[in-house]
């Protein structure tokens, strides 16, 4: 790293270096752009001037098409808690594959997997499988509208519940529910909005920690106030734990003492395969029982595909059982505290937010409590952090999010702390000047 006159010129230099070091990724991107808009079929993976292309992964390591090796701190946006190519998950998938993928009927894996999910997350007394967290949230919200006969859904500014549920950051293609948008972690304002819309609110949905919004934990009092207000007004409380369920044995909501009416899952629970689930109170989920008259329909050719079911069983029993959540969260908490200590000692505007194994970097002096506070951080400085981290051999989201995985070691934490220390030493004056 070198010193530069401004953050902008430093970022320009970092992008030029990135381009020079990654010609094969650039070529792959240009090829992809001939058939896919922007060479992309998953928006979050795009990065200007072009995204890296990866050739393979193993454990907590990635290799790009130019041959560079990275320590993977992103963990496939929380889906990859097991790391890459975990042998137990591979064995389970290969064994299932030998018997077929989607059999056009019930299979022997799904009841076992459902039992494991319910035991792990007791709020899901009944549950159904989907192909993604997006689908799980869509079904949960649709169920809430059908069960209550009400039309409105309360969401939170900066929240994200899947590709058609984006509540910050510009243009969207959201499913057209009638939304009431509340401010995250603002108890008084949110309770006022609930009171004003109570007769029409079918559900309140939120993550107990905003993932895409910057790894911003909900205040315990805020979450408990929502539970009380929704109960009082006959509104369903939905906890989206697609990301946060990995942070504690029974999910982050349970850790905070809040039991939702409905809960959604995804990502790592299915062993990193395409997976989602929604579940909750029996009186709500039993509306999908096809043996009952007037049952709600729920289709999906691959909802019960044997590859995901088998991978999920291996994930919950062999790879990431409930007791494994504590050590991984402790690892993340230690790393976050260490990184924040470096920034505080240097008195530069950089900090790390989150809970347990999920964290995000912000160009602020203290971790944000709201998405608006997170958005106030210097975006140029955050982009510079990304390129400096990649140059040093660490992979994270361009927006600064990290999701730590089981194969990471204390040596990996030491190495990343050294990278952050160097960033603070070399870029710190620019950060301070731009603050």
Q: How far is CA 270 from CA 1, 62, 109, 185, 338, in A?
A: 40, 21, 12, 30, 32
Helices 325-346, 410-434: axis angle to 10 degrees equals: 40
- Length in residues, the chain: 435
72 is catalytic: no
Answer yes or no: 240 catalytic: yes
Burial (CB count within 10 angstroms: exposed 0-12, middle 13-18, buried 19+), residue 24: middle
Active-site annotation holder among 109, 184, 261, 267: 267
Q: What's the token pair of residue 222? A: 């805020």
d(CA 122, CA 263): 10
Closest CA to 418 of 392, 386, 384, 390: 392
> Which DSSP string do the residues of 33-48 spell out, in sequence order?
HTTSGGG-SSGGG--S
Distance in angstroms (rounded) separating the CA atoms of residues 45 and 38: 11
- Sequence-ordered list of residues with C-beta below 8 angstroms from that of 111, at least 6 positions apart, any chain: none
- Which residue is catalytic, options 72, 240, 388, 412? 240
Q: Which candidate in 109, 160, 184, 268 is catalytic?
A: 160
Distance CA 406, CA 60 (A): 8
| Cα distance between residue 4 and residue 361, in whole Å | 21
64 noted as active-site residue: no
Task: Give the residue numbers marked as catalytic.
Answer: 160, 240, 267
């Amino acid at each position: 790293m070198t010193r530069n006159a401004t953050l902008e010129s430093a970022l320009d230099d970092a992008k030029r270096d990135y381009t020079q070091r990654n010609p094969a990724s650039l070529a792959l991107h240009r090829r992809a752009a001939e058939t896919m808009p922007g060479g992309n079929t998953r928006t979050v993976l795009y990065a200007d001037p072009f995204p890296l292309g990866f050739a393979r992964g193993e454990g907590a390591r990635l290799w790009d098409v130019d041959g560079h090796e990275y320590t993977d701190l992103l963990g496939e946006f929380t889906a990859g808690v097991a790391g890459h190519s975990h042998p137990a998950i591979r064995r389970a998938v290969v064994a299932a594959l030998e018997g077929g993928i989607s059999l056009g009927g019930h299979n022997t894996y799904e009841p076992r997997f459902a039992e494991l999910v319910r035991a792990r997350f007791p709020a899901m007394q009944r549950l159904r499988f989907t192909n993604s967290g997006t689908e799980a949230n869509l079904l949960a919200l649709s169920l809430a509208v059908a069960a209550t006969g009400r039309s409105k859904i309360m969401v939170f500014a900066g929240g994200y519940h899947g590709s058609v549920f984006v509540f910050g950051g510009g243009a969207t293609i959201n499913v057209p529910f009638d939304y009431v948008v509340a401010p995250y972690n603002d108890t008084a304002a949110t309770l006022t909005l609930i009171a004003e819309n109570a007769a029409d609110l079918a559900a309140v949905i939120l993550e107990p920690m905003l993932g895409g919004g910057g790894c911003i934990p909900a205040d315990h009092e805020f979450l408990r106030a929502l539970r009380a207000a929704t109960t009082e007004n006959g509104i369903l409380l939905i906890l989206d734990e697609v990301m946060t369920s990995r942070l504690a044995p029974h999910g982050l909501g349970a850790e905070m003492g809040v039991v939702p009416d409905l809960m959604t899952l995804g990502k790592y629970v299915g062993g990193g395969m395409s997976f989602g689930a929604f579940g909750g109170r029996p009186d709500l989920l039993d509306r999908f029982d096809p043996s009952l008259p007037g049952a709600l329909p729920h289709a999906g050719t691959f909802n019960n595909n044997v590859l995901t079911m088998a991978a999920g069983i291996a994930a919950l029993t062999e790879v990431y059982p409930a007791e494994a959540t504590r050590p991984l969260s402790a690892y993340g908490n230690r790393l976050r505290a260490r990184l924040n200590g470096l920034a505080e000692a240097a008195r530069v505007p950089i900090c790390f937010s989150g809970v347990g194994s999920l964290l995000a970097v912000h160009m602020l002096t203290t971790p944000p409590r709201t998405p608006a506070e997170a958005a106030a951080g210097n975006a140029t400085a955050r982009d510079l952090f990304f390129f400096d981290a990649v140059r040093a051999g660490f992979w994270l989201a361009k927006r600064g999010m990290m999701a730590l995985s089981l194969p990471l070691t204390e040596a990996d934490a030491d190495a990343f702390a050294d990278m952050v220390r160097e960033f603070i030493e070399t870029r710190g004056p620019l950060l301070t000047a731009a603050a």
